[in-house]
């Protein structure tokens, strides 16, 4: 679907009619096909059609369901279309909420159209790049630990032969751990390198994601042997099972 020459289809989910119309017009001028939904329900109807959307531009404040919940629902349903969230609120908390909901990027209203275009292009580029890697042209990167096998190129993850689907951020966190085995990584380092959040204070984001990785990969998530907490610092990834930690 990312072939050259063929227009890529975007879904804009935005209930402010003027803004939605302006986005549609401008994105169409850039060569995209654009559908607009004004509610989460409308978005679900578009997403049920047999198109592949290249990306979804998703407003946080919708009349029926908030954008975070819609994004979460998509991910739970196995839809991994790249999502850019739009919000009027500039609280860094919202950025984290969006990313935790499985969004790929985040833009604060009011924003410049060219900024949105740049973000969309970057998402599409990244996806194409991942496609190229998935075809085996890129370097191979495989991680094995316990019963887990991860192929970062094709994003295939299996535990004991059973396939799992991870979100992009879950995979990126796992990749960062895999690149730094047996080393204590503090939360700031993880936030900066995986979430690209610098000097972000006091967050449970990292802990929440580590809990998810434990749930996927630890034989007993309550007694982790691979993703160990290091008191007062952060986490240590041990490909070879370590002594269970206390949290």
Residues that bind Ca ion (CB under 5 A): 15, 59, 61
Nearer to Ca ion, 15 or 207 (CB): 15
State the number of CA atoms in the 13 A half-sphere of 41 facing the CB: 2
Nearer to Ca ion, 88 or 118 (CB): 88
Nearer to Ca ion, 17 or 140 (CB): 17
Closest approach, Cβ 30 to Ca ion, in A, equals: 22
Question: Who's near 239: CB < 8 A, 6+ residues apart?
Answer: 143, 144, 145, 178, 181, 182, 226
The neighbouring-strand residues paired with 143 are 150
Nearer to Ca ion, 64 or 151 (CB): 64
Closest approach, Cβ 168 to Ca ion, in A, equals: 25
Closest approach, Cβ 18 to Ca ion, in A, equals: 11
d(CA 98, CA 65): 14
Check: CB of residue 224 under 8 Å from CB of residue 245: yes
Helices and strands: H and E segment counts in the chain: 8, 12
Closest approach, Cβ 9 to Ca ion, in A, equals: 22
């Amino acid at each position: 679907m990312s072939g050259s020459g063929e227009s890529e289809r975007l879904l804009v989910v935005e209930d402010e009619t003027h803004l939605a119309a302006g986005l549609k017009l401008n994105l169409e001028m850039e060569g995209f096909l654009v559908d607009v939904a004004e509610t989460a329900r409308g978005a679900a109807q578009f997403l049920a059609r047999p198109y592949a959307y290249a990306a979804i531009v998703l407003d946080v404040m919708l009349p029926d369901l908030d954008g975070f919940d819609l994004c979460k629902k998509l991910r739970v349903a196995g839809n991994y279309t790249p999502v850019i969230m739009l919000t009027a609120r500039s609280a860094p908390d919202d950025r984290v909420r969006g990313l935790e909901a499985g969004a790929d990027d985040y833009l604060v209203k009011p924003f410049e159209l060219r900024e949105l275009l740049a973000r969309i292009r970057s998402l599409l580029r990244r996806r194409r790049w991942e496609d190229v890697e998935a075809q085996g042209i890129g370097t191979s990167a495989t991680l094995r630990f316990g019963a887990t096998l991860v192929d970062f190129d094709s994003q295939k993850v299996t535990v004991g032969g059973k396939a799992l689907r991870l979100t992009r951020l879950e995979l990126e966190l796992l990749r960062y751990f895999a690149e730094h085995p047996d080393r204590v990584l503090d939360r700031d380092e993880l936030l900066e390198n995986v979430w690209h959040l610098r000097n972000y204070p006091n967050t449970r984001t990292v802990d929440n994601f580590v809990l998810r990785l434990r749930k996927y990969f630890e034989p007993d998530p309550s007694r982790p042997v691979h993703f160990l907490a290091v008191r007062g610092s952060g986490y240590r990834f041990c490909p070879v099972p370590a002594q269970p930690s206390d949290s």
